[in-house]
Structure 1
Amino acid sequence: MGACMNGNSDVVRDSTIPVTVLTGFLGSGKTTMLAKLLRSPRFAHTAVIINEFGEVGLDHELLEQSREELVLLANGCVCCTVRGDLVATLEKLHEQHVLLGIDRVVVETTGLADPAPILHTLMADPRVTAKFRLEHLVTSVDAYNGLRTLDAHPVALKQAAVADRIVLTKVDLVDAFTLKNIKERLKSINKIAPIHVAQQGEIDPDLLFLNESSGREHVKAASWLGDQYWFHHEDRHHRVHTHHHAGEHDSGIRSYSIVRDEPVSWQRFATWLELISSMRGDDLLRVKGIVNVLEHPDQPIVVHGVQHVFHPYRTLEKWPGKDRRTRLVFITRNIDREDIETTLQVFESKK
């Protein structure tokens, strides 16, 4: 793998370095978008891990062919070529992050890559989690070919389903009706992720890499727990609120939320998460949420999982807003909301 270092200096609550994964199907425009982002002076301290130098399309502009492990280029971009896996690349970058001033990492995947293995590495490998934290997964989607691609290629569907930010590219090639259709299709797959539009491959870096108040986890949580996405419900008197949003064309992919009004036992809740992850992890594409726990109701716990792997649970210093309900978002494949709900109720009923 190669790594190119060329963003903003962020103040984070801990010493781990935030990582954004940039994915998207072949021809979706992520390469062009990345190349233009790297020209921004605001990316002066971002390390970008790529599969090959040439694959990013930067070799003729920014990168000189070199077999050296570390190359300092004229524009201030630092690139290192590591003939190994992602862990080795990240470890090498971390060894030199102070010297190089690295404050963020972007990992660009190949167009045919299932993002799950790389997410597992970033979320579960102790050599990585001690030094880095997964911040975002950004997926680029070609507005012109996107509908056909989502129909024909399951990996493209999964790339969209697990994203927390989606970028539509090549919008100048489609009319308003087609653009509306692709947006609706993406929302049927993934209602968590906001959809941004890149104009001629360019997009405001803050839309993709904004660190949401520089590590203040309660503000970050609020950004994806906002009522505009999932959890606005007029009737707050019922103990359980559930909302089901199923994609109509998407091979069993479903997105839904589960809400609890009362605090839950964290021990039981964590055991339940482990159970569903071990039993149905392959089809548990993404779980994200905030939990009101009996043990410390003023300090909620954030959960974030992809298939069989969950982030280390984070306890927030305070609630991100006035709403103190437990709120969970699920994106699954062939798992109905009722199945998730039933298993949770079993654990809740145990004494």
Structure 2
Amino acid sequence: MNRPDPIPVSVLTGFLGSGKTTLLNRLLKDPDLRDTAVIINEFGDVGIDHLLVEQSSDGVIELSDGCLCCTVRGELVDTLADLVDRLHTGRIKALGRVIVETTGLADPAPVLHAIMGHPVLVQNYRLDGVITAVDAVNGDATLNAHEEAVKQVAVADRIVLTKTDLIDPASPEFARFTSRLMHLNPGAPQLSSNDDEAKAVALFDCGLYDPATKTADVSRWLRDEAYRHDHDHVHDVNRHDARIRAFTLTEDKPIEPDALEMFVDLLRSSQSDKLLRMKGIVGLADDPDRPVVLHGVQSIFHPPVRLAGWPDDDRRTRLVVITRDLEEAFVARLFAAFTGTPQIDTPDLQAMESNPLSIPGFKP
């Protein structure tokens, strides 16, 4: 008996007042989202958000015991496990997708950890992507005032601009704002909630596998070209933005499996709070024709996936890295220490390879 495909889970986040509930209401009416379960988080002792979300059959589940990123993490795991049990026992006829809506104050990372790191859930669910709603009217001020909002943008796979009907899309202010979002997250397409392009077909199915072909679409998933091209632009960033860096590491030759494991383990064990997200495709020396796909959020990594082959002619290792308060040069030096390909001039590369702790700037 073939194991069913893992159920895609999308995380819908965005700061307070960003329009998440309005967006969710509209999405639930989309026929492409039939058989979708929605887990709605509420912050505080008295639940009110569920009164604003239109019930879509029995698929709306309310979490009202606290912030999803802290006190109800166990409940989230239990809820996701219960959904699978209901599906397997026939209490739910179909479950095509799960959407987790976080509170506006939430750091989305713990939600991603619950999906990617739980040994049972990872067998039944796959992270499809992070959708971040951003208020086009007040978003610039929100990013200036709240670091949480900056982080929500930085880890997004899709950015949805809400309230765009209240601004002039041709204004210089709006152009600067969208440029700012692109700097924070070059790989995330920006969509307007008022346009047809923001329908479910554009917001979801942004994971590694193309649901139409059932094959890996690495270029669509990584969008690593956008991260490299972003370095060519000059940005006017504030203090929050300056803490975020998004870049790509590349390597032409296959990497020894042990070297890759040590690089990832050292990076996440020593810099997990600064490693917002990392995803990529890696060619390994033990089987260079079958690359490995990596995806991590801070210290939690999804079990590596070995592809049947390279999805296209590009056989380079490509790792997209998003950090906070962690210099690109430091990560590049660490990567070079294990791959044996120096990316900077150093008088003592051999010592650095044998002892990563000697890398300038490394503080365990």
| Secondary structure of the structure 2 residue equivalent to 1:96 | helix
- Cα deviation, residue 228, structure 1: 4.7
Range that drifts further, 276-285 or 306-315: 306-315
Judged with a 3 Å threshold, the aligned counterparts in structure 2 of structure 1 residues 49 and 110 are, in CA distance, closer, same or farther, namely: same
CA contact (8 A) 1:25 1:141 kept: yes
Q: Distance in 2 between matches of 1:24 and 1:268?
A: 37
Q: Give the counterpart letter for 1:341 in structure 2.
A: A
Matches within 5 A, 1:121-136: 121-136=114-129
Structure 1: state its 5+ residue gaps.
1-11, 64-74, 233-241
Match of 1:144 in 2: 137
- Cα deviation, residue 79, structure 1: 3.6
Q: 2:198 aligns with which of 196, 203, 206?
A: 203
TM-score by length of 1: 0.83
CA deviation map 1:246-283 (0-9, x unaligned): 96321411111111111111221121111010001100
CA deviation map 1:216-258 (0-9, x unaligned): 67533220334652457xxxxxxxxx96889632141111111
Is 1:160 matched with 2:141? no
Match of 2:218 in 1: 221
Range that drifts further, 94-103 or 331-340: 94-103
Match of 2:103 in 1: 110
Q: Distance in 2 between matches of 1:263 and 1:103?
A: 37
Q: Give the counterpart letter for 1:214 in structure 2.
A: P
Matches within 5 A, 1:65-80: 76-80=57-61
CA contact (8 A) 2:290 2:310 kept: yes
CA deviation map 1:102-137 (0-9, x unaligned): 021110000110111111111112232122111111
Q: 2:188 aligns with which of 186, 189, 193?
A: 193
Q: Distance in 2 between matches of 1:22 and 1:78?
A: 16
Judged with a 3 Å threshold, the aligned counterparts in structure 2 of structure 1 residues 156 and 93 are, in CA distance, closer, same or farther, namely: same
CA deviation map 1:34-71 (0-9, x unaligned): 01111223222111111257415545xx44xxxxxxxx
Is 1:169 matched with 2:167? no
Q: Give the counterpart letter for 2:328 in structure 1.
A: R
Judged with a 3 Å threshold, the aligned counterparts in structure 2 of structure 1 residues 159 and 221 are, in CA distance, closer, same or farther, namely: same
CA RMSD of aligned residues (A): 2.7
CA contact (8 A) 1:21 1:106 kept: yes
Matches within 5 A, 1:1-351: 15-52=5-42, 54-58=48-52, 62-63=54-55, 76-80=57-61, 85-98=75-88, 99=90, 100=92, 101-175=94-168, 176=170, 177-199=172-194, 203-210=198-205, 213-214=210-211, 218-226=215-223, 228-230=225-227, 248-249=237-238, 250-349=241-340
Q: Give the counterpart letter for 2:331 in structure 1.
A: I
Structure 2: state its 5+ residue gaps.
66-71, 341-352, 355-364
Q: Distance in 2 between matches of 1:196 and 1:204?
A: 9
Q: Give the counterpart letter for 2:312 in structure 1.
A: G
Q: Distance in 2 between matches of 1:225 and 1:204?
A: 21
Match of 2:344 in 1: none
Number of residue pairs the alignment of both structures matches? 318
Range that drifts further, 209-218 or 265-274: 209-218
Q: Distance in 2 between matches of 1:227 and 1:144?
A: 29
| Secondary structure of the structure 2 residue equivalent to 1:196 | strand
Q: Give the counterpart letter for 2:303 in structure 1.
A: P
| Secondary structure of the structure 2 residue equivalent to 1:133 | strand
